[in-house]
Amino acid sequence: YSDPHCAPGRDTVVHLFEWKWNDIKAECTRFLGPRGFCAVQVSPANENAVVTNPNRPWWERYQPVSYKLITRSGNEQEFRDMVQTCNNAGVRIYVDTVINHMTGGYSGSGTAGDHFDGNSCSFPAVPYSNLDCNAGDVCHSSDGSIQNYNNPEEVRNCDLVGLKDLRLSKDYVRDKIAGYLNHLISIGVAGFRVDAAKHMWPGDLEAVFARLHNVDSNTFGSGKKPFIYQEVIDMGGEAIKMAEYFATGRVTNFIYGVKLADIFLRHTNQAKWLGSWGSSWGMPNTNDVVVFLSNHDNQRGHGGGGAPITFFEPKQLKIGTAFMLAHPYGFPRIMSSYHWNRNIQGGDDANNWAGPPHNNDMSTKSVTINADMTCGNGWVCEHRWRQIYNMVAFRNVVSGTGVLNFKSYGDQQISFSRGSKGFIAIVADGSHLNQNINTNLPSGNYCDVISGNYENGACTGKTIHVDSNGNAHINISGTSDDPVVAIHVGAKV
């Protein structure tokens, strides 16, 4: 378990993938603070290799050159301004940290202009030399890279796709990494996403985290450890298991998105079984996981286990996100993406490398906000879709309550309450739901927060009447754009 340090009444993370620091700073004040988001996961903040072939791919952010806070998202001052402004708006910052490896396979310069030679693990701006990278003494694969994912030693001690594997067994390396993380902590961040955690020994991570300072006491209170969630891609088929990492923090639960896509996207499973959703589905304990429908990597078709739900399937994304945010299991993360022209060739997306919207000089385009609150300049801003941001508020209002009265009215028609604070009904196929349902809510008129907002004391979408017995008439067509009804005591006229 690891505490996300959400400000009171907040409980959802949004991954503002590849956003610039100045744009995140603005979004905290104008949207994420007022809309009750807990935190932002930001892209790696440290200097990375400038990759020009292909031209500035998103994955160059995952090829470290040094721990200087200069990237396409901005410089250290802009990073500091973002963290301070977001904390002041009640929104935390989690930094995506890449500490398993440095870049590899070639030499060049990084986003701060620092020279490096990935072939000899030479990173003068840290400094790291080849004494600080793993080698044949601990990696026994044929070519120094990971070949066999069922050999835990190889997965931890060899180069991941040729990236130079840091020797985390060494105090010097542990000190350098901890120094970087403590620098971020001193700036006011609340925690870290630990990239490629599967490729590091839990004992080495423990040694690094033991070196970390507490997070800023003025912002978070005294004696608080940084929030840690570790990327462990484990869908059950490999030697390395999520459970190995529970002692050092939470883990990313990739099974979650696959199972929900089976139901809401592929329809190879039925929503009626979701009454038992949670650890009884072969998933870890709710307090040990961060949950999500898709992430920056598998939205591009990398993930095993079947395609996840992404903004390319907007209807299913809204349904799946409504379920994720209405259900108490896990600490939820929403993916906020940018558009790229997906070009599927023989099952693979030939453009899956495409970096963020950019100007002619390859600098990242700013996020523009349209009159209807959507984003321009190629940013998708899923977190600004009404059916999504209203469910962030729903989750906040029902916090602390359990699932009550879970019911199914057919294979793909479900409803449940959250204590006496909220109620949701979902039709996951093309069928029609037309039922009187006990919502367990106090009588009154509630705004359906999927079809509209609760504004100036009135509903801009459907109004749902709950009678003195707590019953409401729910009528949902599965073929409509939003086959979900969600009501809560924070949107009652």
Kindly list the residues in this chain that would bind ligand ZXU in the complex (CB under 6 A): 59, 62, 98, 104-105, 160-163, 195-196, 198, 231, 233, 297, 302
Q: In Å, how far from its chain's centre is CA 189?
A: 16
- With CB under 5 to 8 Å by kind, the binding choice for 196 among ligand ZXU, Ca ion, none is ligand ZXU
Integer angstrom CA distances of residue 337 from 240, 340, 375, 381: 29, 9, 11, 6
Name every residue whose Cβ is closer than 8 Å to that of residue 465 and which is 6 or more positions away in sequence. Answer: 444, 445, 446, 472, 473
- Residue at shortest CB range from ligand ZXU: 62
Residues 35, 167, 199, 318: which binds Ca ion (CB under 5 A)?
199
154 lies in the site for Ca ion, by CB under 5 A: no
Give the residue with the Cβ less far from Ca ion, 100 or 387: 100
Residues 46, 71, 100, 440: which binds Ca ion (CB under 5 A)?
100
- With CB under 5 to 8 Å by kind, the binding choice for 165 among ligand ZXU, Ca ion, none is Ca ion
Single out the catalytic residue among 18, 159, 216, 231: 231
**Taking CA 349 as the corner, what is the angle to CA 266 and CA 71, rounded to the nearest 5 degrees?**
115
- With CB under 5 to 8 Å by kind, the binding choice for 260 among ligand ZXU, Ca ion, none is none
- Decide: 449 and 489 in contact? Cβ < 8 Å: no
Number of residues that bind Ca ion (CB under 5 A): 4
Q: Is 349 a catalytic residue?
A: no
Angle of helix 314-326 relative to helix 254-264, nearest 10 degrees, comes to 120
Give the residue with the Cβ less far from ligand ZXU, 163 or 487: 163
Give the residue with the Cβ less far from ligand ZXU, 165 or 448: 165
- Decide: 388 and 321 in contact? Cβ < 8 Å: yes
Single out the catalytic residue among 47, 78, 96, 195: 195
Give the residue with the Cβ less far from ligand ZXU, 44 or 328: 44
Residue 312 tokens read as 């390319």
Give the residue with the Cβ less far from ligand ZXU, 104 or 191: 104
29: three-class secondary structure by DSSP = helix
Query: What sign does the CA torsion over 251, 257, 259, 260 have?
Result: positive
Integer angstrom CA distances of residue 206 from 102, 169, 188: 20, 11, 22
Residue 165 CB, nearest approach to ligand ZXU (Å)? 11
Q: Is 231 a catalytic residue?
A: yes
Angle of helix 386-397 relative to helix 314-326, nearest 10 degrees, comes to 10
**Contact range with Ca ion by CB under 5 A, out of 27-35, 149-157, 212-220, 290-298:** 149-157
* Residues annotated as part of the active site: 195, 231
Please give the residue ranges that form the binding site for Ca ion (CB under 5 A). 100, 156, 165, 199
